[in-house]
Chains A and B, each alone.
Chain A
Amino acid sequence: MHFSFSVMASEQQLSAIKGSKVLMVGAGGIGCELLKTLALSGFPDIHIIDMDTIEVSNLNRQFLFRQSHVGQSKAKVARDAVLKFRPDINITPYHANVKDPDFNTARRHVNRLCLAAGVPLVESGTTGFLGQVTVHVKGRTECYECQPKPAPKTYPVCTITSTPSKFVHCVVWAKDLLFAKLFGDRNQENDLNVHSKDGSSSSKQAEDVFERQKEENIEQYGKRIYDHVFGYNIELALSNEETWRNRNKPRPIYVKDVFSSELASQNGNLDKSSNGDPPSLSAMASLGLKNPQDLWTLKENSKVFLEALKLFFSKREKEIGNLSFDKDDQLAVEFVTAAANIRASSFGIPLHSLFEAKGIAGNIVHAVATTNAVIAGLIVIEAIKVLQHDIKNYRMTYCLEHPSRKMLLMPVEPFEPNKSCYVCSETPLDLEINTHCSKLRDVVDKIVKAKLGMNFPLIMHGSALLYEVGDDLEEDEVANYAANLEKVLSELPSPVTGGTILTVEDLQQELKCSINIKHREEFDEEKEPDGMILSGWTQPRAAEKNGKTAVDSEVSTSSASEAVPLETEDDDDLQIIPTITGKKRKLSDISNETKNKRKAEELDSKNDVVMLDDENSDMSKKKREQ
């Protein structure tokens, strides 16, 4: 076949493509587009890994999939679809997980594996009309972890439990507190009954409120829960005058206020419909509510709340105690929407539709096909440069929605590696910790796993092994390490105190780093809830950009081993947002960054200099509009 010969420019490019072998991580929104563009561009050997199966909401943009594929492996279906128009290439699908269900962790994992293997990584993400493509080549450009990633948005506990002011606070309350309390693991800590700081909540007594009494029928139970969380708890919160001095007071809501006299007939209604054995369990279906975009009244929300609760206890009783919120669980979404809306009306916050509440509760990312197609094209352009070792032309490219400088697609030079990055340089980290109180387990859970993202850590103090995970350990070793986990640092067999240097290693990721221990007595419970502070891993980017010209020969030779992993993001994943709009490089910061860069780097190009002017005039226009 000659198709690929007519596709892309030079002979050099073609021979680079022909000898390549690429791995794609993700066969979702960008993945489908990327696989297509790689195939059309003549890439002969493509490996694709994705653990997801196809869902209806994928079909509007993941164009390799059809209705009949729903439920099947993305990687496999994508392969078959592309082979139809390019039968002469090799595509190897893996229906598997890169490492972790949490994609951000997976990206870090892939980053480390690529650094270890010396294989370049092209990473990308999209949300709505925004997107970005970044090239990570060891020693030449920053790695995925050179810049700190913003933590997922969190809210102060008291905002959620006592003083919500936005709908999202109500959703978080409904999902993480109420839903978890009623249907999740009862042993989990839950702040549901925290009303105020004076400790007026009687935790033991309140605990029993959520237990369904032996003789209690489901309706009674539902109404009691309703009255407790929307009525009694609000009443209790109101008793603390201090809280409401500068806030609008919430209104307690009881079942009897909402339904007055008609509840009896409504009950009959519910009973009848729940016998119908609907195809998928849904309070909306039972109540005849059709459009998820509709705004429900307080009464409708209350009906949905009671009906959803009833359906859970009558039809899904076995799951209760193990449920966690899932955006694809219709009944769970209905329950959370209704609960959030009832709470919102209590606090005078505007109500939202199920469609909107689902988006908030499920962190559903906005996604369109066009952005993914554009980003996939940009990935292939970068990948071809990487295959040709065309280092000086590597670019990080942003796809923008409202270009400030008339540049819809904006390339910038990739950033250099962060010299204090604990992943790609060997800079030690500092850990402030109370070595007399904190256990080794705390360090493993809160630092090594949560912050450093290691899955199979090994911790050493000098030559003494303190902790290790693996399949090939002896029984006594396992017992030994388990015992160490429960010991405070200063009482370990090889005591860890201020001044100790710990070595932490993940053999699978070939990542090793040192942690300097600094002893500290006190930690602020509010601001430093971990009881320890890790520093050196969130260093801001070093300002200077000169002086790094040494060529790491290993990089250029080993990347000639022809494997370019192209990491692409499934746009269903909420972690994309940080990569694009997050702290790493805010879009609003770009113009300044690039402005300075461009002046230095491309003075010869008149166009660019003039474009800066364009931007300015554009800005003044925008101001006028406002």
Chain B
Amino acid sequence: MEIVTIWMLLYNTHEEISGTKHLVSWNNHLIPKFLRLKMDDEKLTEQETALYDRQIRVWGVDAQRRLRKSHVLVSGIKGTIVEFCKNIVLAGVGSLTVHDDRMVTEELLSANFLIPPVENVYSGKSIADLCCHSLKDFNPMVHVSVQKGDLLSFDVDFFGKFDVVVVSSCSLSTKISVNEKCRRLSKQVAFYTVDCRGSCGEIFVDLQNYIYSKGKADETVECLLEYLSFEEAISIPWRSLPRGLSKLYLVLRVIEQFEEIQGRTPGEISTADFLNVQKLRKELCQIHLLNESEIPDSLLQRLLAGGARESSPVCAIIGGILGQEVIKAISGKGEPLKNFFLFDAMDGKGIIQDISQVQAPETEFGMGSVERVENIL
């Protein structure tokens, strides 16, 4: 369903070589800059080859060179992002820019292994400053720096400096806004959101139009994936989503919407909000023509009780999967996740959910139902 066009490229026949040209001339603008590497680009140094030996055996030298040329921005540093930063700094991206102006508090340290819990070390410093300091130490070949300021105030050009943008712990409207800015750029910027709430975690991926290659025996297959923006994806009427949709997906949409309407920071919720959240669920379900039982009380309550807390094992898992996905996106190797990943430690399942297509033609709802919800409230 998601694969719109497939080019088979058998590199050793004439016909296929002309096919390659065809692909490039038509779709050059679709291919992220870092995928348009010339093969004669700088080689890896001896030092890099020695350090990255084991992973080069997994993804190859070309992927490693692409990683080295890539620039990554993360915003909102909690446990999951710390895990993610560790993973991509170790993997050897070109640069990592960390953004989070919050001052360090004891709570922010809970799932963070980058900051020593010594008050006179961390007090008065921003979380980004402290994490940057530790991350530099992980891999001297990666340039780690801090960006200050309000995420919403950054303009389109700012995001154009990066190949990958990851936001976490921010409001629904901020996610939508940053995603939209990334999409306005002529160059392709991969956009991700990631969050952990208690024992649950979620990743959203927007690679816009993305081509990746799949290696098979002696041939390489190139595939194109088309992604929706975050706003487009969450606006798809729930009723028309694929059957067997993860309940966690719906619960997270309700809670996210609740926080947005109430003007809460992410995770600023508790079981005391249960009645109001139930009310919102009812309204949303009416709009989406969905049975309320699809969004079970027990799961809602569990997430409310979790509040802003993160579970370290879940951070490690979500941060690991996200790291893997970003490496895939940068290297153009391997099928990337499309477009949600959901994990719940209670049942141990880590599920890929494709929220990108209105499935049933019977639906009467188009885009924009989210705005309608806001009006009703």
Contact = CB atoms under 8 A, between A and B. Distances in A.
B51 A56 contact: yes
Interface string A391-435: 000010100011100111111000000000000000000000000
Interface in B325-343: 327, 334-335, 337, 341, 343
A85 B51 contact: no
A61 B199 contact: no
Interface stretch (B95-103, B153-161, B314-322): B314-322
A3 B46 contact: no
B148 interface: no
A36 interface: yes
A378 B317 contact: yes
A364 B56 CA distance: 12
A605 to B, nearest CB: 8
Interface stretch (A228-236, A265-273, A288-296): A288-296
B309 to A, nearest CB: 5
B54 A367 contact: yes
Interface in B218-266: 221, 223, 242-247
A589 interface: no
Nearest to B49: A292
Interface in B1-38: 1, 3, 6
A562 interface: no
A366 B137 contact: no
A371 interface: yes
Interface residues of A, number: 76
B51 A59 contact: yes
B311 A9 contact: yes
A85 B57 CA distance: 32
Contact of A60 (B91, B198, B353): B91
B316 A6 contact: no
A69 to B, nearest CB: 12
Interface stretch (A45-53, A168-176, A245-253, A609-617): A609-617
Given A85-B115, A380-B313, A409-B348, A61 B324 contact: no
B293 to A, nearest CB: 10
Given A60-B54, A367-B55, A7 B244 contact: no
A359 B317 contact: no
B90 A409 contact: no
A66 B353 CA distance: 38
Contact of B58 (A86, A366, A381): A366
A6 B353 contact: no
Interface in B82-141: 83, 86-87, 90-92, 106-107, 109-117, 137-140
Contact of A7 (B117, B311, B350, B351): B311
A606 B337 CA distance: 23
A41 interface: yes
Interface string A581-617: 0000000000000000000000000111111011001
A117 interface: no
A625 interface: yes
A377 interface: yes
A371 B92 CA distance: 16
A371 B320 contact: yes
B347 interface: yes
Residue among B91, B244, B306, B347 having the largest count of chain A Cβ atoms under 10 Å: B244
Nearest to A62: B90
B116 A374 contact: no
B350 A407 contact: yes
Nearest to A5: B110
Contact of B138 (A9, A63, A367, A374): A63
A369 interface: yes
B247 A607 contact: yes
B104 to A, nearest CB: 12
B280 interface: no
B184 interface: no
Nearest to B2: A621
A259 interface: no
Contacts of A608: 244
B114 A377 contact: no
A2 B106 contact: yes
A217 interface: no
A359 B56 CA distance: 11
A334 interface: no
A164 to B, nearest CB: 20
Given A3-B117, A408-B321, A293 B49 contact: yes
Contacts of A7: 110-111, 309-312
B273 interface: no
A60 B313 CA distance: 21
Contact of B110 (A3, A67, A406, A617): A3
A39 B351 CA distance: 27
Contacts of B327: 368, 370
B345 interface: yes
A406 B350 CA distance: 8
Nearest to B82: A40
A622 B83 CA distance: 33
A86 B110 CA distance: 10
A364 B57 contact: yes
Interface in A32-80: 33, 36-37, 39-41, 56-57, 59-61, 63, 66-67
A376 interface: yes
Contacts of B310: 7
A60 B90 contact: yes
A359 B1 CA distance: 38
A580 B91 CA distance: 23
Contacts of A402: 335
A370 B87 contact: yes
B138 A368 contact: no
A527 interface: no
Contacts of B335: 402
A403 B341 CA distance: 12
B245 to A, nearest CB: 8
B313 A41 contact: yes
A85 B116 contact: yes
A128 B313 contact: no
Contacts of A8: 311-313
A407 B352 CA distance: 6
Interface in B273-297: none
B376 interface: no
Contacts of A374: 316-317, 320-321, 324
B350 to A, nearest CB: 3
Given A374-B321, A621-B3, A408 B58 contact: no
A369 B52 CA distance: 11
A462 interface: no
A367 B87 CA distance: 13
Nearest to A56: B50
B246 A607 contact: yes
A374 B311 CA distance: 13
User: 10 closest pairs, A vs B, by CB?
Assistant: A610-B244, A409-B350, A377-B316, A411-B348, A373-B320, A374-B320, A40-B312, A377-B317, A377-B313, A6-B110
Given A57-B50, A609-B244, 17 more contacts: A3-B117, A8-B311, A36-B113, A39-B113, A40-B110, A61-B90, A85-B116, A86-B117, A291-B49, A292-B49, A364-B57, A367-B54, A374-B320, A380-B316, A402-B335, A607-B246, A608-B244
18 contacts: A1-B117, A3-B117, A6-B107, A7-B311, A8-B313, A57-B53, A59-B139, A61-B55, A67-B140, A84-B116, A290-B46, A370-B321, A370-B324, A373-B319, A378-B348, A381-B345, A381-B348, A625-B214
